[in-house]
Amino acid sequence: MGKNLSHQDLIWVVPCVGGVDYPVDQPAEPMTVTIMNQVYDVQVQYHQLRNITYVLLDAPVFRQQTKAEPYPARMDDMTSAVYYSAWNQCIAQAITRFPIDLYHINDYHGTVAPLYLLPRTVPACLSLHNAEFQGLWPMRTKKERDEVSSVYNLPWPVVAEFVMFGEIFNLLHAGTRLMGNTSPSLRHLLTLLPRRIVFARLPARIRCCRRLQEVRKALLRTISNIMGSQESKSDRWVKSSPR
């Protein structure tokens, strides 16, 4: 991305991993995150490389990861929830520090960052590389709902509206809820729709690229058939969601 967008000023919010020495460049004001009603400081420094400004986040929760394993191995326990909560809260604060024109969400990792800015909204786009990874935490009971909402420091109405899918806190679902229009690759779309109810909201808002115009009719027919078989199942998920 840095090579292809050399004409753009990019801001990358990157957690520091363990085992790597980061020379101090431009120390910045720490960012504060709230997790389960406890406030923590995340140390911040900036590093400029050509057109990219790196916002480096340094905290024990990030240093637990390594260069080889930069993300938590699991996506459904409290340790990983704390990691993604801290990262997303820091991304939201970085958005307030820099006058960005567009927030690029790389997979599910940063999908809830815009929710910390509400009622302010920011233009965003989502790049999805593997829909098998979604970031899922169970919210089957009130205790689980309260716990996950507290870890992410998001009020329950916001979680219910943007993140909860069925009885699951689903980061990828939050990404689909934030997207107004999508331009997916045809092959990827046809693979996803039959298997992932979480994308049920997308087909009605698909904006086809010029290179896909010749297959637009076939695509829409495929989507119509898929949605016909998935609609009732999707409705059951939504109706089962406690409000």
What residues form DSSP beta bridges with 185? Answer: none
Tell me which H or E stretch contains 169: strand 168-170
pLDDT at position 222: 56
- Listed as own residue / partner, the contacts of 80-84 with beta carbons closer than 8 Å and 24 or more positions apart are 80/135, 81/137, 81/148, 81/151, 81/152, 82/35, 82/151, 84/109, 84/112, 84/135, 84/152, 84/171
- Give 164 or 41, the one with higher predicted confidence: 41
Sheet containing 26-35: which strands, arranged edge to edge? 10-15, 52-58, 38-49, 26-35
pLDDT at position 207: 41
For 178-210, write each residue's pLDDT tens digit.
765 444 444 455 455 444 444 445 444 444 344
The pTM assigned to this predicted structure is 0.75
* Residue 220 CA: distances (Å) to CA of 68, 118, 179, 205: 41, 34, 19, 11
pLDDT at position 120: 92
For 142-159, write each residue's pLDDT tens digit.
999 999 999 999 999 999
Q: Which of 62, 42, 46 is nearest to 10 (CA)?
A: 46
Regarding the domain delimited by 10-131, which CATH topology (the fold level of the hierarchy) does it fall under? Rossmann fold (3.40.50)
Region 55-72 average pLDDT: 94
- Give 92 or 181, the one with higher predicted confidence: 92
| Domain boundaries of the chain, sorted by first residue | 10-131, 180-238
pLDDT at position 138: 87
Region 54-61 average pLDDT: 96
CA dist 190 and 174 (Å) reads 21
**Residue 101: both structure tokens together:** 């024109």
pLDDT at position 8: 82
pLDDT at position 112: 94
- Give 29 or 238, the one with higher predicted confidence: 29
pLDDT at position 229: 52
